A and B are shown apart, each in its own frame.
Chain A
Amino acid sequence: MNPQLESFRYDDAIVRKFLWATFLWGLIGMTVGLLIALQLAMPALNFDIAWLSFGRLRPLHTNAVIFAFAGNAFFTGAYYSSQRLLKARMFSDLLSRVHFWGWQLIIVLAAVTLPLGFTQAKEYAELEWPIDILIAVVWVIFAVNFFGTIAKRRERHLYVALWFYIASIVTVAILHIFNNLSVPAGPLKSYSIYAGVQDAFMQWWYGHNAVAFFLTTPFLGLMYYFLPKAADKPIFSYRLSILHFWTIVFLYIWAGPHHLHYTALPEWASTLGMVFSVMLWMPSWGGMINGLLTLRGAWKKVVEDPILKFFVVAITAYGMSTFEGPMLSVRSVNALAHYTDWIIAHVHTGALGWNGFLAFGMIYWLAPRLFQTRLHSMKMAELHFWLATFGIILYVTAIYSAGLTQGLMWRAYDVTGRLEYPAFIETVMRLMPMYWVRVAGGALYLTGMVLFGYNLLKTWQTRPATYEEPVIQAAPLGDYEELAAPRPAGALARFAQAAWHRTWERLPVTFTVMVAVAVIVASLFEIIPTFLIKSNVPTIASVKPYTPLELAGRDIYIREGCFNCHSQMIRPLRYETDRYGEYSKPGEFVYDHPFLWGSRRIGPDLAREGGKYPDLWHVRHMEAPRDIEAKSIMPAYPWMLTNALDFDGIQSRVDAMVMLGVPYGPAVNDAPAMARQQARAIAQSIAAQGGPADLSDKEIVAMVAYLQRLGRDLGAQPAATTVGGQ
Chain B
Amino acid sequence: MSAPHDDDRLLDHSYDGIQEYDNPMPRWWLYIFWGTIVWGVLFWLNVPGIGVGKGRIADYDASVAAAAADMPAEPSAGPDAAALLAASQDPTAVAAGRTVFGAYCSACHGPDGGGVIGPNLTDAYWIHGGSPEAVYHTVNVGVLEKGMPAWGPTLKPDEVNAVVAYVISLQGTTPAAPKAPEGTMDPPADAPSGDS
Contact = CB atoms under 8 A, between A and B. Distances in A.
Interface of A: 81, 84-85, 87, 155, 157, 159-160, 225, 228-229, 234-241, 243, 247, 262, 267-268, 271, 274-276, 278-279, 281-283, 285-286, 289, 292-293, 295-297, 299, 414, 416-419, 422-423, 572-574, 577-578, 583, 611-614, 616-617, 620, 628-629, 689-690
Given A286-B29, A628-B107, A268 B21 contact: no
B60 A574 contact: yes
A296 B60 contact: no
B145 to A, nearest CB: 8
B110 to A, nearest CB: 10
A281 B40 CA distance: 12
Contacts of B32: 281-282
Nearest to A579: B154
Nearest to B157: A416
Given A296-B1, A617-B108, A281 B36 contact: yes
Given A422-B155, A617-B147, A574 B64 contact: yes
Contacts, number: 161
Contacts of A241: 20
Nearest to B5: A296
A494 B3 CA distance: 31
A297 B4 contact: yes
B176 interface: no
Report which residue of B15, B16, B37, B179 has the largest number of chain A beta carbons within 10 angstroms of its beta carbon: B15
Nearest to A426: B103
Contacts of B108: 613, 617, 628
B20 A275 contact: no
Name the residue among B33, B103, B149, B156 with the largest chain A CB count within 10 angstroms.
B33
Nearest to A485: B12
Nearest to A423: B103
B64 to A, nearest CB: 6
Main secondary structure of the interface of B (DSSP, over half): mixed
Given A234-B19, A267-B55, A285-B29, A617 B47 contact: no
* From B20, B26, B50, residue with most partner A Cβ within 10 Å: B20
Contact of B154 (A236, A422, A573): A422
A494 to B, nearest CB: 15
Contacts of B17: 229
Contact of A234 (B21, B24, B155, B157): B21
B116 interface: yes
26 contacts: A85-B15, A157-B13, A234-B20, A237-B20, A238-B21, A239-B24, A240-B23, A240-B25, A247-B33, A267-B49, A271-B44, A271-B46, A275-B44, A276-B40, A282-B36, A286-B25, A286-B29, A296-B1, A297-B2, A418-B153, A419-B154, A572-B56, A574-B64, A612-B149, A617-B108, A617-B147
A417 B47 contact: no
B107 A278 contact: no
Contacts of A292: 1
Nearest to B72: A417
A629 B107 contact: yes
A419 B57 CA distance: 21
Nearest to B13: A157
Contacts of B33: 247, 279, 282-283
A296 B50 CA distance: 47
B82 interface: no
Contacts of A268: 47-50
Contact of A235 (B19, B47, B71): B19
Contacts of B156: 414, 416, 418
Given A267-B47, A282-B32, 17 more contacts: A85-B15, A225-B18, A229-B18, A234-B8, A262-B56, A271-B44, A278-B40, A281-B32, A282-B33, A282-B36, A289-B29, A297-B2, A419-B154, A574-B63, A611-B144, A614-B117, A620-B116
